[in-house]
Amino acid sequence: MYHEHTIGVVIPAYNEEGYVGEVIETLPSFVDRAYVIDDGSTDDTWLEITEYAKQYNAEHSATNGYDARVVPIQHTVNRGVGGAIKTGYLQALEDGIDVTAVMGGDGQMDPDVLTKFIDPVVEGKAHYAKGNRFMKFETLDAMPRLRLVGNTILSLLTKISSGYWNISDPQNGYTAISQEALQRVDIDGMYEYYGYCNDLLVRLNLADCRVADVVHSAETVYDDDWKSHINYTEYVPKVSFMLLHRFLWRVNQKYILKDFRPFAAAYYLGAGVMGLGAGKLVSRIARRREESNNWFFTVLSGIVLLLSAMVLDRNENEDKGVQVRESPTSLPTTATVSKNGRTESKAIPADDD
């Protein structure tokens, strides 16, 4: 237990033999339940999980009425990291865990910094906290160049899709979520591929949840043992299509069906006008005629409509994202809030939902 809150940790593992056991061994003492999910591994990951779980449970007494601290769970087929985390989230909900964090089964997350992700949730500053490596520019050199470019592009696309315009680094897996947030969002429907974290942000926005970006160093992630299971030729198109679908879902649900906002129409009108302009350009090129440049002004009008809709969308959601820069050894009492392109430090009241 941590500050009167029960703490759970979801540990997804796919072919993490030689790593996941150490993750179990180094679990912080305040963790009440750890759900270690073998996501259809083809090596001896499951054997390692069960052996280390048995040893850990024998050495650490169960707390708060639970029968064991470490709970091994096995998927018979590989469902993806999102699928493994979904399984852990659902089990944490069933167990009534107050705050549930995620620690990778590859040992890339330092257990000593886990509290800085839990703190904003425990203190009521946010319903969901995640790491942000972009808030510490001096350590970004540790991130591979291709991955940095990809994360930057995905950050922009996720801002548009989710509505959390002042939140960055959505691919960061260092997270903590409240029981209330898990109850509000449709975890059963959560995307199971690597884009689960982007999808979850959209769901959190639809549930009117606050999200905290917690400063985090890239140096602690990309060490000599760093590895990735991501196939980028598959990942980029799948996640991009998912983000487009979730964007349309969010706009329709939140700004048309639930409570109409005119800028929702501007999104669709702007896209339509841009498409019309692009069609005029294609027609001009195909016919090889020297016609007027009205296609350019049509496209420009569409861009202006889209940008206007984005500005209004950002204003609508500016209070839903906070940036936490406090030391991981102390509970945060202030956060850096982005507003109208500026940042300012301010105290944030406890959740009154």
pLDDT tens string 140-175 = 555 666 666 767 888 889 999 999 998 888 888 899
pLDDT of 290 above 80: no
pLDDT at 328 over 70: no
With a CB cutoff of 8 Å and minimum separation 6, the contacts of 204 are 127, 128, 162, 164, 181, 184, 185, 211
Predicted pLDDT at 230? 62
Query: Is residue 203 exposed (0-12), middle (13-18) or buried (19+ Cβ within 10 Å)?
Result: buried
pLDDT confidence tier of residue 287, bands split at 50, 70 and 90: confident
**Structure confidence at residue 271 as a pLDDT band (50, 70, 90):** very high
Instruction: Give the DSSP H or E segment for 336.
Output: strand 334-339
pLDDT of residue 63: 87
Encode pLDDT of 15-60 as tens digits: 999 999 999 999 999 999 999 999 999 999 999 999 999 999 999 9
- How much is the average pLDDT of 68-92? 95
Mean local confidence (pLDDT), 315-336: 65
Judge contact between 194 and 81, C-beta under 8 A: yes
What are 135's two structure tokens? 């808030």
| Amino acid letter for position 205 | N
Q: In terms of pTM, does the model score above 0.75?
A: yes
* Contact yes or no for 336/345 (Cβ under 8 A): yes
Give percent of the chain with pLDDT exceeding 70: 82
For residue 347, name the pLDDT band (cuts at 50, 70, 90): very low
Q: Mean pLDDT score of the chain, rounded to an integer?
A: 84
Please say if the pLDDT value at position 346 is more than 80.
no
Residue bearing the bigger pLDDT, 233 or 130: 130
Among 93, 51, 94, 101, smallest CA distance to 72 is for 51
Helix (H) and strand (E) counts in the chain: 10, 10
- The predicted model gives 256-275 an average pLDDT of 92
What percent of the chain has a predicted confidence (pLDDT) above 90?
Answer: 58
**What is the model's pLDDT at position 292?**
60
Highest-confidence segment of 23-32, 105-114, 150-159, 215-224: 23-32
Q: Residue 181's pLDDT band (boundaries 50, 70, 90)?
A: very high
CB atoms within 10 A of CB 149: 11
| Least confident piece of the model among 65-69, 108-112, 146-150 | 146-150
Of the pLDDT bands very low, low, confident and very high (cuts 50, 70, 90), residue 330 is: very low
Least Cα distance to 88 among 135, 131, 31 occurs for: 31
